[in-house]
């Protein structure tokens, strides 16, 4: 496993949109600047969604414009054509669309069936292709749903193949409520990779039951080399009581570096970014590695 692993930092969007405390545009820009400076060149920075539905993402256009001068690849989430148009006005070059592998979550989250959700963003993919815009596809609830319970791998395969055939360059498989375990994660990756080439798959695992790193390792054994993570373990899921945030970027980096996989990430700078956003949120980082390093620094300076 000495190959390169690509990290997609999702803290400024998928992380912050599920935090109760809203962060200002200026502070979100500063957070992204710190992440880029730490060596994370791919960052999801905002979402062009309803301000009523996701007030934490208000100002995403300003955030995107505010980081456009930085060296990096910036992603934004768009749910429909209206969101796409707004993203293009703001200068987005990479967008993401999303669907669920479970009907229950799709209805609760966006008030439509899985098939209807795909129909909504089909025009987005057509326009993005014509405009030369890269599109990433997210699938939520791939290892379990708070409404439907167990999710069959075939349901994930069907959505993944549809997104890939529609033109998504990468399919990010999300364990939205963090219920997966390594064997199930491995089986899922194997099932999806039989229909979508493994080099086009990414893992987006939440850490509710403390299984995210183990699940990521299992997926890496199947050949997946793209990992979504959030600095400090930001995030959660409003429809899953007790669901914690994304797997923490610090924890992922620590694991990968310990495996001999060079990430190019400066842990001290990443920790500084995590500590600052945690201060703004008024709580300590969820990340085990951040907690350990902060305790170590405190002990050294005291």
Whether 242 contacts 216, CB under 8 Å: no
Indicate the angle between helix axes 267-281 and 249-258, nearest 10 degrees: 160
3-state secondary structure of 16: helix
3-state secondary structure of 167: coil
3-state secondary structure of 26: helix
Distance CA 114, CA 26 (A): 36
Distance CA 45, CA 47 (A): 7
Whether 290 contacts 252, CB under 8 Å: no
Q: Which of 141, 145, 168, 237 is catalytic?
A: 237
Strand partners, 226: 6
Distance CA 35, CA 13 (A): 13
In the chain, what is the straight-line distance between the N-terminal and C-terminal CA atoms, in Å? 39
Contacts of residue 32, defined as CB under 8 A and 6 or more positions apart, other chains included, come to 12, 43, 45, 63, 67, 70, 74
Reference 277, options 243, 250, 296; nearest CA is: 250
Strand partners, 137: 97, 171
Torsion 224-229-233-234 (CA) sign: negative
Burial group, residue 144, by CB count within 10 angstroms (0-12, 13-18, 19+)? buried
237 is catalytic: yes
Enzyme catalytic residues = 237
């Amino acid at each position: 496993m000495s190959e390169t692993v690509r990290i997609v930092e999702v803290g400024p969007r998928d992380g912050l949109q599920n935090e109760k405390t809203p962060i200002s545009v200026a502070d979100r820009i500063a957070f992204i600047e710190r992440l880029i400076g730490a060596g994370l060149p791919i960052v999801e920075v905002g979402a062009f969604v309803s301000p009523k539905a996701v007030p934490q993402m208000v100002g995403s256009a300003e955030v995107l414009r505010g980081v456009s001068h930085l060296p990096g690849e910036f992603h934004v989430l768009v749910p429909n054509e209206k969101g796409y148009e707004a993203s293009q006005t703001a200068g987005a070059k990479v967008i993401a669309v999303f669907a669920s592998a479970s009907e229950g979550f799709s209805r609760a989250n966006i008030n439509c069936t899985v098939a209807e959700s795909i129909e909504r963003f089909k025009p987005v993919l057509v326009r993005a292709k014509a405009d030369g815009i890269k599109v990433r596809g997210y699938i939520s609830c791939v290892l379990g749903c708070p409404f439907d319970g167990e999710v069959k791998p075939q349901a994930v395969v069907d959505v993944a193949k549809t997104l890939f055939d529609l033109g998504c360059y990468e399919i990010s498989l999300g364990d939205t409520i963090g219920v997966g375990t390594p064997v199930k994660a491995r089986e899922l990756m194997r099932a999806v990779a039989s229909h979508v080439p493994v080099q086009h798959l990414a893992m987006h695992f939440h850490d509710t039951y403390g299984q995210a790193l183990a699940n990521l390792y299992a997926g890496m054994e199947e050949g997946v080399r793209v990992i979504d993570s959030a600095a400090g373990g930001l995030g959660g899921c409003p429809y899953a009581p007790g669901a914690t945030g994304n797997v923490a970027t610090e924890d992922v980096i620590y694991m990968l570096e310990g495996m001999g996989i060079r990430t190019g990430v400066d842990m001290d700078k990443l920790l500084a970014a995590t500590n600052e956003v945690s201060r703004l949120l008024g709580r300590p980082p969820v990340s085990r590695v951040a907690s350990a390093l902060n305790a170590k620094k405190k002990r050294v300076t005291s």
